[in-house]
A and B are shown apart, each in its own frame.
Chain A
Amino acid sequence: MWRDAALVAGKDLRIEGRAKVAVNQVAPYALVVLLLFGFAFDQDKPLLVQAAPGLYWMAVLFSGLLAVQRSFSLESADAAMDALRLSRLEPAGVFLGKVAAVAAQLLLLEVLLALGVVVLFQSRLSGAALLAASAAVSTAGVAAAGVVYGALCTGLRARETLLPLLLAPVLAPVVLAATEAWRSALGLSRGDGWHWLALLGCFAAVYLAGGAVGFGALMEET
């Protein structure tokens, strides 16, 4: 399974490295979203600083939708999903490989967006351990849930519009928990951010385990 995951992740990242969709389209889009949030709150700088974690994770969510859509358009463009189904690859390996590839792209994007938050919103990053841990676990959750719903939507006619409709509400707990964890890390709230990290961990574990078990059935429906 791990070998299959590495093979699929390597393939997806190699494709992404050549197509540069994440670099040339998703990352600029995420920064534009952040900029637009900045315009919306421009008159109220303190509020912008307070809201920065939430705006950051909203930008990650929007970008994650694009990354997931891109990950499955690779397979549907020339019916490559059939080739995957006809291979000896374990579905769990395909799932974990796709999650790893999406997560790797999202992590890079999150670093870029964090820089954007510092520059545009004049936020001061602190609590590095909690920030990094919650970012890593949130990314795993977003990628895992995204790949599950991406596979679910692949065979459907209106998949481009259906995926955001289905996935955004599912990711609401991640946005909420990650925002609260970051607010705690940045000293914007007095709550214990590590509790929110535990919630993020539960979400990621459920979707990673569920996806690994159920991805074979999802591939059959595509």
Chain B
Amino acid sequence: MVLSARLRSAVALAGRYPVLAGADLDVRAGEVLVVRGPNGAGKTSLLRVLAGLLPLSSGEAEVLGLDPSADARSLRPLVGLLGHKNGLYDELTTEQNVRFVARAARRDVDVVPAALERLGFGQRLRQAPAGKLSAGQRRRLALACVLAKGPLLWLLDEPHAGLDAEHRELLDGLLREVAADGCSVVLASHEHRATAVLADRVVNMAGGVVLDGVLPLGLSRGSQGDPVGGGPVQAGPVQAGPVEAGPVEAGPVQAGVGEAQSVA
């Protein structure tokens, strides 16, 4: 089975409160996994654990072949996280924000115009300070930053929030592209309708536990017929994940826009 991430009995604490209370989850390479659940279910904490930002207090975790607690410094550059906040600098222009992220990811700044164009930023908006953008534009800019970083694992928390219909479609198209290129997308959302068309698989969370997150043994994207958890399966070519029969290998990202490859 080709897995980008695997959690078993994962427990994570915020202070003394268990925000993850024994979560089990498999994330296949090249799939769009939607995580649903009520407020406080632990969706955001799950994403932060997968990003290596929230250490586990017990349980097992492997993300892109790395232990997110022990190898957090190695894992984080391979992950793109869009949280509730956008992580932007208001005084920098749209282009400067993306350029900073690209340079901080050791990527060629040539990816910057392509990322901005892919997220629908024309020439005029590229010179606008991020602080002057609307909520939806800021969300798109944050997504452009993730795209410019070129991660292998996309972790998106309510990415559709604030986007109009046109840009929701644009985002869905982008996520299908990155999944087709072998990247995995884990998307936490309340918006069932918006994410239903996008999801390869849907899992639910409640009380810090993923209710249906583990794949049956031997089930991989190439062999499955039906989605696990009730989500629709996307048609289209299946890109092989970075590593078969085990966790993927981490390494410097060589991705162009919407492309990501793993290099050992």
Contact = CB atoms under 8 A, between A and B. Distances in A.
A7 B53 contact: no
Contacts of B92: 11, 14-15, 18
A85 B88 CA distance: 14
A14 B96 contact: yes
B104 A84 contact: yes
B88 A7 contact: no
Nearest to A18: B91
Nearest to A86: B76
Secondary structure of the A side of the interface? helix
Given A83-B145, A85-B76, A86-B76, A78 B88 contact: yes
Contacts of A4: 104
A77 interface: yes
26 contacts: A4-B104, A7-B100, A11-B92, A11-B100, A15-B89, A15-B91, A18-B91, A18-B92, A18-B129, A77-B90, A78-B86, A78-B87, A79-B84, A82-B53, A82-B81, A82-B87, A83-B87, A83-B145, A84-B104, A86-B53, A86-B76, A86-B81, A87-B76, A87-B101, A87-B105, A87-B149
B227 interface: no
Interface string A46-85: 0000000000000000000000000000100111101111
Contacts of A19: 91
A82 B84 CA distance: 12
Contacts of A14: 91-92, 96
Of the candidates B53, B90, B91, B92, the one having the most CB atoms from chain A within 10 angstroms of its own CB is: B91
Nearest 8 interchain pairs by C-beta: A79-B85, A87-B104, A83-B87, A18-B91, A15-B91, A86-B76, A88-B77, A80-B87
Interface string A84-119: 111111000000000000000000000000000000
Given A78-B86, A78-B88, A78-B90, A86 B96 contact: no
Nearest to B73: A216
Interface size, B (range): 20 to 34
B79 interface: yes
Nearest to A83: B87
A88 B53 contact: no
Contacts of A87: 76-77, 101, 104-105, 149
A15 B149 CA distance: 21
Contact of B101 (A18, A77, A79, A83): A83
Given A14-B96, A86-B81, A88-B106, A80 B76 contact: no
Given A11-B100, A86-B79, A87-B104, 14 more contacts: A7-B100, A14-B92, A14-B96, A15-B89, A15-B92, A78-B85, A78-B89, A79-B87, A82-B81, A85-B76, A86-B51, A86-B53, A87-B77, A88-B106
Contacts of B96: 14
B192 interface: no
Nearest to A76: B85
A149 to B, nearest CB: 22
Contacts of B77: 86-88
Given A85-B53, A86-B53, A86-B76, A7 B103 contact: yes
B246 to A, nearest CB: 24
B83 interface: yes
A117 to B, nearest CB: 31
Of the candidates B86, B89, B129, the one having the most CB atoms from chain A within 10 angstroms of its own CB is: B89
A74 B89 CA distance: 7
B127 to A, nearest CB: 12
Contact of A89 (B81, B88, B104): B104
Contact of B83 (A15, A74, A79, A216): A79
A37 B53 CA distance: 47
Interface string A1-34: 0001001000100110011000000000000000
A78 B90 CA distance: 9
B99 to A, nearest CB: 10
B126 to A, nearest CB: 15
